[in-house]
Amino acid sequence: MRVVGTGTLALLAGSLAAVAIAAYPGLRRADAAPEAVRMAAGLKPVTDFARIKNKDERAVALFEEAGKVLQSPRCMNCHPAGDRPTQTDKMLPHQPLVVRGEAGMGAPGGLACTTCHHEANFDAARVPGNPKWQLAPIEMAWQGRSLGQICAQIKDSKLNGGKTMAQLVHHMAEDELVGWGWNPGAGRTPAPGTQKQFGELIKAWADAGAACPKG
Amino acid sequence: MAAFTLKINGREHQIDVDPGTPLLWAIRDNVGLTGTKYGCGVAQCGACTVYVDGQTVRSCSLPVSAVGKSEVTTIEGLTSKEAVAVQKAWAAHDVPQCGYCQSGQVMSAAALLGLNPKPTDQDIDLAMNGNICRCATYVRIRAAIHSAAKSLEG
Ligand code: FES
Ligand code: FES
């Protein structure tokens, strides 16, 4: 962070920032995971599941592994059940207050996602970005849902944007906004594993019949 | 360092900066337009608000390298009818206290009225809550936006 000159301006700027930070405890650096924890956790490879002979059991186990990604804060933060996204590993309410609006990009005339989030992460300002930055539609809300409920929702073409299973696999494995989860910028814990591994798990789950965890 | 041509308030400016320099610093230090303020540097206060191709952007959150040929508008170049109405209403309501946050407030208020000519209190809160005022002029800001909206009705 850069400091402006000297004197009153710097004092004012400093206190403005201090007010912002005092008012929003979610902004404190301490909310971010410590560097050691931020290293991406791994995902088990698809081959680890081959020994599960029962197809449904294998599908469930594969989905539970993929669920480590789906339920990571990098994914969940933009799949809120309400109107406001969350942020940080603690999934605190997004600061400033933003709402989904009709297109998942902010209220009309209000704060649009693109006021702060641009085409790429900008680590100097600690602001993440991606060309597709937006909230998931409300029918794709994941927060507060069990993994089984998320699974059923993902499979349901009425709730997943009309995707077939093949399109769903492609989306998980290739979509660049999904891919942001593994390249989230400084100070954010990446989603576990890699997008490639995640895509393979989802594909293997689909190939095994796409059974969902109970509950 | 790299050379960039920034179009700001209708004029082109050649600058030579690190590509990762926030637009805010190019505007203030390289172009010399100091109406745009620095408050937090992390997209949390709104003091650095400018328009990029007509859309509000926190200039601290955008690197110069991402601006390209876009038109940047700062408080010095704000001339829309909404902006004029906002400035008049600001004076009538005596909105600013220390004034530090106010160029950002005016940029956001004028943008709001451009998109939503009759904002409700809630619309105003949703549009303006990203502009922090340490002097807490929020009540006057809201009243002045309503006045500006009324004056634009005809
Ligand atoms: S300085 Fe850009 S939002 Fe505070
Ligand atoms: S008028 Fe002083 S910070 Fe807003």
**Residue the block writes with tokens 């789906």:** A70
The shortest C-alpha distance from B84 to chain A (Å) reads 18
Chain B contact present for A103, CB below 8 A = no
Give the HSE-up count for residue A94: Cα atoms under 13 Å, Cβ half-sphere: 28
Residue A127: its chain B contacts at CB < 8 A?
A: 42-43, 58, 61
Residue B51: name the closest of A115, A25, A214, A78 by CA. Answer: A115
List, for residues A33-53, the tens digit of each pLDDT value: 444 444 557 999 999 999 999
Q: Which of B23, B34, B40, B51 to mutate to test the pocket of ligand 1 (most atoms within 8 A of CB)?
A: B40
> Is it the case that residue A22 has pLDDT exceeding 80?
no
> Is it the case that residue A9 has pLDDT exceeding 90?
no
Region A133-144: mean pLDDT is 96
Q: What is the pLDDT of residue B68?
A: 97
Q: What is the pLDDT of residue B70?
A: 98
Region A122-148: mean pLDDT is 97
Q: Which of A95, A109, A124 sits opposite B123 (nearest CB)?
A: A109
Which of B61, B67, B108, B120 to mutate to test binding with chain A, by most A CBs within 10 Å of its CB?
B61
Q: What is the pLDDT of residue A4?
A: 38
The tokens for A65 are: 């592994």
Pairwise CA distance, residues A1 & B106, whole Å: 25
pLDDT interval class at A86 (50, 70, 90) = very high
> Is it the case that residue A66 has pLDDT exceeding 70?
yes
DSSP-derived 3-state class of residue B33: coil
What residue ranges of chain B have pLDDT lower than 50?
A: none
Pairwise CA distance, residues A145 & A209, whole Å: 22
Q: What is the mean pLDDT of chain A?
A: 86
Pairwise CA distance, residues B125 & B97, whole Å: 19
Ligand nearest to the CA of B103: 2
**Domain spans of chain B, in order of start:** 2-77, 81-153
Give CATH for domain B2-77. Answer: 3.10.20.30
Residue A144: name the closest of A67, A80, A64 by CA. Answer: A80
Strand locations in A96-144 (E): none
Region A8-29: mean pLDDT is 42
Pairwise CA distance, residues B42 & B60, whole Å: 7
**Could you tell me the fold of the domain covering B81-153?**
DNA polymerase; domain 1 (1.10.150)
Say if the Cβ atoms of A97 and B38 lie within 8 Å. no
ipTM over cut 0.85: yes
Q: What is the pLDDT of residue A40?
A: 54
List, for residues A174-204, the tens digit of each pLDDT value: 999 999 999 999 999 999 999 999 999 999 9
> Is it the case that residue A13 has pLDDT exceeding 70?
no
pLDDT interval class at A215 (50, 70, 90) = confident
Give the predicted TM-score (pTM) of the model: 0.88
Say if the Cβ atoms of B57 and A115 lie within 8 Å. yes
List, for residues A87-121, the tens digit of each pLDDT value: 999 999 999 999 999 999 998 788 999 999 999 99
The tokens for A199 are: 């895509």
